[in-house]
Chain A
């Protein structure tokens, strides 16, 4: 199976702050990591290769430092990594990002499966998987929690829904997003790390992908962020005092008064 994993490099924490002067996010001093949910996508791709043979390619769109995320993916078992980087790609919303990734997938030979993580910890949208599928005109399944079987160009998976799970069949090639219930990502191995150090990571830009620069990046984005702010947490209520006995009595009294019990 030829598998493509789309991954994103994100800040290594959600505890980000806003610079009050520029009103932009403070990114200095924050280590970059592979988006945690993408590590499950990487692990699943590597497991599928171990089961069915073939190859795994990791693709990521980002500034030049994103290369380290692709090398890390190689240390985790991915065969090769490709960096999509170009000034024209900057400022992309999920639509423009999906467009760029779609162009890369088209350039790769004969992909059987594209795997994305469920959502990123910075944007939290979960859009790239489905939009990529739509742009590549491929079947799409979200929230895959287990790949049960792959045989004769067909895939059977389990996917999570609110009140349980569904067994879904799909022809290949297809695009899926995976949830963390699907596996436990492995640790890097020493040989993997050695490979990741010596690997060549090709960089594809506007030219290599043959895309119109106006259709990607900020100029290709439909949405705009007009404002960001840190939500305020105002002190709301009453701290009940006294012994546990007192506190509980007080609480029951309050709840009764509010008609809640």
Chain B
């Protein structure tokens, strides 16, 4: 599709087991900005079954919600999602489509782009609009975050981009906002579903989930060995924090992959991020640098982490961390 008459900003609102994921609200906040700059409408697109809080999508800024509700869509079967989204896009012709760069988003959104024959940027860290040219400016990391690229999709439409969770902030919900919920006529027989989900096995080893945590305590190579994560777990438990890690220590096997933060791990944006024994390689920073407050504890005064830290302690973490834990316990 290549037509400047395409209008509207769309956000694909991913749901999991009936609940809309936070990244959808984050994208609606940004989408609202983009739509306002382009003087156009913001729509959310949601596929699933018996989804709670559809109205919240409107409260968070959407003018319309395209909702396809069917038991067949409950498991996010990717062939069905791809087929239905392609159909909607071809029917309604939006100019921009955004989605979260989640496991699902990264798997099926490229297929939608390929089917619709348009351009897609992955894992964007920023989105802007050139209102005059009606172009979406997509900023994304390359080379592990060492180089930023600004991408456009000049001709083809819609312009598509995926964005990682925690890159943008949610807006305050406006309960009085009015909007339209449009039921999508999902016809199963129009699509072929080939892959089949047999079973889902949850694997969360720690008590506080990293993506939702307000405070994260993360460890890197400076911890020297797996056993020393115990020290961080203690601090985390005193603070009600989640435990994170760099790729280096996950690769060593000191802690599991769900705890990995960075370019090939999770992106987090807690209120407080405490980086212990982490040098601050760019591949890691990309995953946590938007945190509200970053505290770095490292014995190397030249470690790059200090360049992004709000508060830095140059010292021996094996002294500082237990001290911190002890004093916090006393309060």
Contact = CB atoms under 8 A, between A and B. Distances in A.
B306 A239 contact: yes
Contacts of A181: 257
A228 B201 CA distance: 41
Interface stretch (A57-65, A66-74, A132-140, A198-206): A132-140
A240 interface: yes
Contact of A141 (B140, B195, B199, B295): B195
A170 B323 CA distance: 53
Interface stretch (B44-52, B153-161, B217-225): B153-161
A163 B115 CA distance: 29
Nearest to B119: A222
Given A131-B111, A181-B257, A224-B151, A14 B144 contact: yes
Interface string A96-130: 00100000000000000000001101111111011
Contact of B107 (A121, A143, A255): A143
A236 interface: yes
A237 interface: yes
B44 to A, nearest CB: 21
Interface in B313-327: 313-316, 319-320, 323-324, 327
B269 to A, nearest CB: 14
A85 to B, nearest CB: 23
B196 A124 contact: no
A228 B144 CA distance: 14
A164 B204 contact: yes
A71 to B, nearest CB: 25
Contacts of B231: none
Given A140-B111, A223-B153, A229 B147 contact: yes
Contacts of B6: none
Chain B contact residues: helix, strand, loop or mixed = mixed
B137 A226 contact: yes
A237 B110 CA distance: 39
B199 A124 contact: no
A22 interface: no
A169 B198 contact: yes
Interface stretch (A1-9, A46-54, A189-197, A242-250): A242-250
Contacts of B102: 162
A233 B103 contact: no
Interface stretch (B54-62, B91-99, B120-128, B167-175): B120-128
Contacts of A15: 143, 146
Given A123-B142, A131-B114, A260-B272, A156 B198 contact: yes
A238 B143 contact: no
Interface string B249-269: 000000001100001101000
Interface of B: 78-79, 82, 102-104, 106-108, 110-111, 113-115, 117-123, 137, 140-156, 194-204, 209, 211, 215, 239, 257-258, 263-264, 266, 271-272, 282-283, 292-295, 301, 304, 306-316, 319-320, 323-324, 327-328, 331
A-B pairs with lowest CB-CB distance, top 10: A222-B119, A223-B119, A14-B144, A142-B107, A139-B194, A130-B110, A164-B203, A134-B114, A131-B114, A237-B310
24 contacts: A11-B143, A14-B282, A124-B123, A127-B113, A130-B108, A131-B111, A140-B195, A162-B103, A168-B197, A169-B198, A171-B194, A222-B119, A223-B120, A228-B142, A229-B148, A233-B304, A236-B309, A239-B312, A239-B313, A239-B314, A260-B215, A260-B272, A261-B239, A261-B272
